[in-house]
């Protein structure tokens, strides 16, 4: 049931991944799920750059090097994490947004559409048994130095993905009643 899938979705981090590849068939299904996200005026602003193999290593090297360049006091723990997270992952997908050149909708709506595409991917991963984690480090502002981004395209983060073993924690949420105001009370 979709409600159970939504409740079971969790962030699963690269340190938790095991060395099992993700099939092309599964990746195609995950990306197709993203493609069915809603978007105002059908701008379909989601763009994805899929990294496996050497491209993951290049990403890790770029992120750790760029962090050391831009950070006044770089932390060794973060340098190591930026370098290793891509290689610990079976796949890393750069989450990008292509701005509608006509500006037919506000930018926030296109960012929201990309987020909905990622949620579709995340739910699909959950169903398959693949763990994933959306990381949006400040370094994404420099990704035009790594990727050949089209005009109006920007990177919004990375979806780290991998199979994992073991049980995930049961999710916790504060009650929805604390977050809703009923303007007309239903009986």
How does DSSP classify residue 151? T
Which pLDDT band, with edges at 50, 70 and 90, does 149 fall under?
very high
pTM: predicted TM-score of the whole model, two decimal places: 0.94
136 is in an annotated binding site: yes
pLDDT exceeds cutoff 80 at 186: no
Alpha carbons 67 and 53: distance in angstroms, whole number: 22
pLDDT exceeds cutoff 80 at 187: no
pLDDT exceeds cutoff 90 at 184: no
Residues with Cβ < 8 Å from 148, sequence gap 6 or more?
none
104 is in an annotated binding site: no
- Chain centroid to Cα 125, Å, comes to 11
Q: Are 139 and 67 in contact (CB under 8 A)?
A: yes
Tell me the β-bridge partners of 162.
Answer: 131
Alpha carbons 76 and 185: distance in angstroms, whole number: 55
173 is in an annotated binding site: no
Q: Which of 87-91, 162-166, 181-185 is the least confident region?
A: 181-185
10 is in an annotated binding site: yes
Alpha carbons 110 and 95: distance in angstroms, whole number: 13
Alpha carbons 95 and 92: distance in angstroms, whole number: 9
How does DSSP classify residue 13? -
Average pLDDT over residues 158-185: 92
55 is in an annotated binding site: no
How does DSSP classify residue 69? H
pLDDT at position 76 is: 97
Q: Are 97 and 45 in contact (CB under 8 A)?
A: yes
pLDDT exceeds cutoff 90 at 167: no
> Residue 34, SS3?
helix
Q: Which fold has domain 2-164?
A: NADH Oxidase (3.40.109)
Question: What tokens does 180 get?
Answer: 């809703």
134 is in an annotated binding site: yes
Question: What tokens does 23 get?
Answer: 């099939």
9 is in an annotated binding site: yes
**Could you identify the residue written with the tokens 């924690």?**
169
Query: For the chain, what is the mean pLDDT?
Result: 96
Question: What tokens does 151 get?
Answer: 């005009």
Domain residue ranges of the chain, discontinuous segments joined by + = 2-164
pLDDT digits 0-9 by tens, 68-122: 999 999 999 999 999 999 999 999 999 999 999 999 999 999 999 999 999 999 9
pLDDT at position 173 is: 93
Q: Which of 31-45, 133-147, 163-177 is the least confident region?
A: 163-177
């Amino acid at each position: 049931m979709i409600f159970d899938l939504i409740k079971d979705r969790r962030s699963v981090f690269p340190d938790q991944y095991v060395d099992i590849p993700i099939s092309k068939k599964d990746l195609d299904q995950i990306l197709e799920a993203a493609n069915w996200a809603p978007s105002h005026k059908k701008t379909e602003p989601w763009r994805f750059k899929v990294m496996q193999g050497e491209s993951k290593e290049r990403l890790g090297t770029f992120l750790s090097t760029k962090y050391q360049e831009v950070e006044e006091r770089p932390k060794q723990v973060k340098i190591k994490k930026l370098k290793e997270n891509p290689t610990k992952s079976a796949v890393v997908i750069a989450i990008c947004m292509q701005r509608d050149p006509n500006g037919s909708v506000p930018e926030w709506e296109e960012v929201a559409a990309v987020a909905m595409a990622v949620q579709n991917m995340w739910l699909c991963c959950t169903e398959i048994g693949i763990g994933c984690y959306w990381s949006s480090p400040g370094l994404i502002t420099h990704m035009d130095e790594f990727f050949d981004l089209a005009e109006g395209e920007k990177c919004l983060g990375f979806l780290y993905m991998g199979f994992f073993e073991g049980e995930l924690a049961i999710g916790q949420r504060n009650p929805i009643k604390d977050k809703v105001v009923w303007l007309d009370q239903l009986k």
